[in-house]
Structure 1
Amino acid sequence: MQENPIKSVLKQLMKEIIWSRCRHKKGEKRDICCFSTRRGGSTWFMEIIGVNRGIRYLNQPFSIYSAVSSHHIHLLPKTDYGEFIHLDKNQLEELKRFCKALFAGHVVVNTPWRIWQHEFDFRSSRLVLKIVVAKAMIDWFDSEFDVDIVYSTRHPIPVSLSIIRNGWGLTVQAYLKNRTFMEKYLTETQINFCWDVLKKGTLLEQHVLNWTLENLVPLKLLAQHPDWIYVSYEKTLLEPEVVIEDLAFRLDLEDIERMKKIANIPSLSTKHLSTKQVRSLLLGHTRTPEQTQFLIERWKKDVSPDEEKRAMEILEKLEAPVYVYGETVSRLDTKLTS
């Protein structure tokens, strides 16, 4: 149901008034950049980390689709489909200038505004940036700024099904038309394969291709950066305490109990974009192992084995087999814990 236009304007005005009162003074701990995929648990991870005292999260500050004002849009580099892949010199300068303003607290966008909630605070000393449209630049953020890097994934088929259900479009062409990206990460055979999927593949296959291209750079670079923190949506559902305690240790977070509590609350995006059955299970504080497994595997009822196999062959063809046919959890979880 679409929100009343007048109510929407008043709500945005209230947000901007509250944000104008927020104050940020950088502390000793590094800010955090969380790279993820839309409908991949990105908001959930951001909120789990952001619940710590002194931390303020910024929800997709680089996305033109979630920009809060024309001024916000004006500050961002203009790119194909809003994706940051390989930017030219002027675009990089724009992005760097915007990032510096964010980290300094001079620009406050898409941050908590509900002042009546217990977790809200006008002051912060550490920032968490949820980044969905710039995964291909993960190493640039790592080298340009003194930040902690968190990279998360969720199985591409449920991600794709959720995106399709919500009627969101593809960003594939932004990658296939970026010469530097193609030359660096794809062979000519792989490029031809991608175009073939885009032209002849099913909608599910096209979105799985989208997921793979979006995640190709961090997946290729992850092994070279042991300091980057990898976490999967599936493992966080299966072993929330293990994941949260690891995040707390590596990111120097102190409010572990608050993190565990927020892990059992559906994220803001889940409340609006997931089914009622999923929301009720995510809200359950005492989920059975069977219910948790259902949350991870529920997508299987919507695709045939042949559809799953064809979709997962895309990851194999592009040499990014973090998830494979017949399995529902990330292979990186097994590799990192073995």
Structure 2
Amino acid sequence: MERLKKGINPYHDISNILTLKQFKTEQGVLIFSEPRSGSTWLMEILGKMIGDAVVNWEPFHPGRGVVPKYLEWSFRPHFKDKNEFEQHYELINKILSLSVFTPWTTQKIDPLKAAKANLVITKFVRANLILPWITDRFNLKYKPIYLVRHPISTCLSQLKTFKNLKLAFNRPTLINHEIFNEHIEFLKKLETELEYRIALWCIIHNKVIEGKVNLKNISLVYYEDLLKNPRTEINKLIENSGLDKLITSNIDMVNFKLPSSTVYMNDLEANVSKQINKHLEFIDKETKERIQGVLDYFSINIYNAYSPNPIKHGS
């Protein structure tokens, strides 16, 4: 605060430090999730436990991130095949190694910590569709983390938080609309924006998980499990992702009850069970039935509209 009063912009310091850094993409920690799924909370927990790391904050943001507007990634990038991915490989490599940045993407970085940092934690809510390409193309030392939250809770939270971002009932604006084309007639029949957002959640989830990513190459984490048993789930995540050698802080020193910096007033219940159940209790039986119809159409079987907890088949 004192530095700002004197007219000194901390970003100048961070920019100078990062320009001299040479972070390696392969040694980065990657967190993928949908908006309002708990990714900031998880990022902040890992940031406290991993020594000498800096945060690369939402580099795919369409207005404040690092992706040139002429590429028209907009809603979120998706590539048809490996050849198309290769056209953007250098940019993605620069993004993951924090070779390109903006005041927005470096907002979580402390200049003093940046000076001694040796790895990058990149947190995305717009990159899920290219997770298959990233795991295939980059020889990552640590498994990318894919955090999933119940689609009803996720989408209701999106509607509450992003009140001014109204979605039209048509295809989102992004490159390669083809992944939505086959569902256009179904999308047009949906009655509410909640159903529409849940349909988009389903399309994106299916492109990531259903046969597109080798699950052995990622760490799949459920928000509900993380909320109910944070220490157990974080320890499992650390082991599964291979992050154990990076941990410098004892897990018992982490305050898991501390909300993330993006939790808004009255959006977090003190009781874990209430937090997990509150969104499903908010909607009526008829709405749940329509949402279940959306989930059934997309063959989503890790969640249903009647229970807040994930369904883990074969686990």
Q: TM-score normalised by the shorter chain: which range applies?
A: 0.7 to 0.9
Compare 236-245 and 125-134 and name the one that shifted more.
125-134
SS in 2 for 1:162: helix
SS in 1 for 2:307: coil
Structure 1's 61 and 87: CA in aligned 2 closer, same or farther, altered over 3 A?
Answer: farther
Partners in 2 of 1:230 and 1:131 — Cα distance? 15
| Percent pairwise identity | 19
Q: Is the 8 A contact 2:26 2:138 kept in 1?
A: no
5+ residue gaps in structure 2?
A: none
Partners in 1 of 2:225 and 2:70 — Cα distance? 34
Structure 1's 221 and 124: CA in aligned 2 closer, same or farther, altered over 3 A?
Answer: farther
Match 1:101 to one of 94, 97, 103? 94
Match 1:299 to one of 279, 282, 286? 279
Q: Is the 8 A contact 1:176 1:182 kept in 2?
A: no
5+ residue gaps in structure 1?
A: 1-6, 282-290
Deviation at residue 89 of structure 1 after TM alignment: 8.8
Matched, 1:252 2:268: no
Partners in 2 of 1:226 and 1:260 — Cα distance? 30
SS in 2 for 1:129: strand
Q: Is the 8 A contact 2:292 2:304 kept in 1?
A: yes
Q: Is the 8 A contact 1:36 1:151 kept in 2?
A: yes
Partners in 2 of 1:36 and 1:138 — Cα distance? 10
Match 1:316 to one of 276, 289, 296? 296
Structure 1's 203 and 104: CA in aligned 2 closer, same or farther, altered over 3 A?
Answer: closer
Q: Deviations over 1:249-268 (max 9, x none)?
A: 12323235258615332112
Q: Is the 8 A contact 1:244 1:260 kept in 2?
A: no
Give the AA of the match of 1:232. Answer: Y
Q: Is the 8 A contact 2:149 2:222 kept in 1?
A: yes
Structure 1's 78 and 90: CA in aligned 2 closer, same or farther, altered over 3 A?
Answer: farther
Give the AA of the match of 1:252. Answer: L
SS in 2 for 1:268: coil
Compare 211-220 and 292-301 and name the one that shifted more.
211-220
Q: 1:157 is matched with which residue?
A: 152
Give the AA of the match of 2:313. Answer: K
SS in 1 for 2:30: strand
* TM-score when normalising by structure 1: 0.76
Give the AA of the match of 1:133. Answer: R
Q: 1:134 is matched with which residue?
A: 127
SS in 1 for 2:306: coil
Q: Deviations over 1:160-191 (max 9, x none)?
A: 111111213338613899454258xxxx5x54
Match 1:239 to one of 226, 229, 232? 229
Q: Deviations over 1:30-87 (max 9, x none)?
A: 32221100011111122222221022221111221442xxxx34388323x4311226
